[in-house]
Amino acid sequence: MEQSKAMTSLDRAPLRARRQRLSAEAQVRASAACRQHLQTLTGWAGFRLVGAYAAFDGELDPSGFQAPGQRWFLPVLSGNSLLFRPDEGASLPNKFGIMEPITAQASHAITDSEADTPGDADLDVWTEHSGKQPSAPGAISPSSLDLLLVPGVAFGLNGHRLGMGAGYYDRALSFMLKPHSDPKPLLVGICHDFQLFESVPPQPWDVPVHFVCTPTALYPCSDFVDG
């Protein structure tokens, strides 16, 4: 961890610019190092349903992190929140330019007004509280995941995160803030060392991560979500 102080400014631009300047070779090395530390997470190989992300804007690339026997899912936009679809190879960019997985049922451009189809029978399909099926065919709720790798612009050892500013992850994971909520998924923030601080100022809507993994180490977070 390069930062030994609390993050006092919420200006994303310097951190985003720094990671964007990294060479492809540096990104590959950093991602490989992060993978080694992530594998030390207790029970890593036993997490069956894992949510990850498509690297964007200089983020560490988790595409090589998958352990044998794990099934991986990537986020897809659904209204103002996120759902997760199996990572099966084919993908299309969303409105932000981030790649999203597509399915045979959704091999065209995905919109929020599309007809909905359920996902795998053994997984909880997103219903929100209205009972509606997801607008992303084949997608599942984040509550169905065992583990979720979370990207961010900055993380604190207090577990709090500064994202890109749109609030998608906070809304998708808001169920974890409710009393007696299901403790899964386990949340692991993924970032470069220079993106890690002693603390990031918390906001009422923040869902803290349980761990942060960088190319240097896997760090447990102090504000562990336990209800």
Nearest Cα to Cα of residue 73 among 138, 167, 165: 138
What pLDDT is attached to residue 178? 87
Residue-wise pLDDT tens digits, 132-174? 444 567 889 999 999 999 999 999 999 999 999 888 999 999 9
Question: Would you say residue 65 has pLDDT above 90?
Answer: yes
For the whole model, what pTM was predicted? 0.83
Residue type, 110: I
Residues 55 and 163: their CA atoms lie apart, in Å, by 14
Domains and CATH numbers, the chain: 13-220 (3.40.50.10420)
Exposure b/e, 63-95, CB count within 10 A at least 16 = b: eebeeeebbbbbbbbbeebbbbbbbeeebeeee
Residue-wise pLDDT tens digits, 177-199? 988 777 789 999 999 999 999 99
Residue-wise pLDDT tens digits, 39-50? 999 999 999 999
> 150 has which bridge partners?
189
